[in-house]
Structure 1
């Protein structure tokens, strides 16, 4: 029997454009990783899996990982797709019916946005937060979609090809009033393209 919603935080990248792993970047005096992890926890996700890769040992020393399951992606340099596979594989044994997938470089995503998305959780649900009508993060993947999403996840695309292929059935969950889903690509804090 499955039930509940888990959180999956993808935080394995080296942050080449940023100049350091984004898990170690800081916004408002807090690590990006701590902000994203708190949003998942406070948004009702249990359990929460954090996928680390680049600088994993350093991140473990400075981040607040209490209560999170840490999975290390040894193949992190191949891109986000491998981290998605590692994370969903780790969640398989938990019995949750769905996973809220969050990226570490979207510090504007709030617990309220996570909770709004998680409210739609179900084994067959596929949904994404939207901002100004554009799909962003977090993304909700019902358990029935995990195998397909991981098969299509290659390089830095993550679940994007899977979501695009299911655009007609994907539930758009407006979160404009609850936060900002833009990803931060540069230290100046300028938002980059939101990619789901």
Structure 2
């Protein structure tokens, strides 16, 4: 079977308004920033295309981030929500790339590491045409992989809602991989403080 072509779409456009003045993407994590950590992790995967969508604070973020071979897109309408940034980024990612899957990811899930992503990709390769989602607590979500069959619907997304609603329409087409690390995303100062405690082992 031919190796599927996979593109990464990393979403980092939000303002992080609940962080009370801090630029969430630039919060320190280990020796890097949250977004640089994510870029480095997703850069390590053997895929065919990579694109990150910026929006709020894009100039400040760009000055402090090394993108490796990620294509960088700036969504001027980022305030319309995640769905808009997702469809905007996917449209650009598909220009010049014939992809069988898109791996949709968020830049504020710092516990996601390469082995987790490789396991998701392996599940996708072994189950063609299935939507692959991470499962954490009682939820499912990103990182997730959507096959090309669903690209037209992803390209129609707008507003705040992302790809989860599309997956919910096709439960028979969805597979999940238990990935509790995906449940840690950084939206508030309390989330960040908990991450730092986890990092220090306290």
- Per the normalisation by structure 1, the TM-score is 0.86
Supply the RMSD in Å over aligned alpha carbons. Answer: 2.2
C-alpha distance in structure 1 between counterparts of 2:67 and 2:92, whole Å: 16
Moved more, 86-95 or 9-18: 86-95
Q: Please tell me whether Structure 1 or Structure 2 has the larger radius of gyration of its CA atoms.
A: 2
1:56 and 2:64 correspond: no
* Alignment of structure 1 residues 7-46 onto 2, 5 Å: 7-19=8-20, 20-46=22-48
Higher share of residues assigned helix: 2
The alignment of Structure 1 onto Structure 2 pairs a total of residues equal to: 188
Unaligned runs of 5+ in 1: 192-196
Residues 1:45 and 1:2: Cα distance change in structure 2 (over 3 Å) = closer
Contact 2:91 2:155 in 1 (8 A): no
- When residues 48 and 114 of structure 1 are mapped into structure 2, their CA distance, relative to the original with a 3 A threshold, is same
Contact 1:43 1:113 in 2 (8 A): no
Pick one of 140, 150, 158 that aligns with 2:155: 150
Deviation string 1:16-75 (CA, Å, 9 cap, x unpaired) is 001333222222232111121222222333321000111111111101212110011110
Gaps of 5+ in 2: 196-202
Equivalent residue, structure 1, for 2:99: 96
Question: Which residue does the alignment assign to 1:117?
Answer: 120
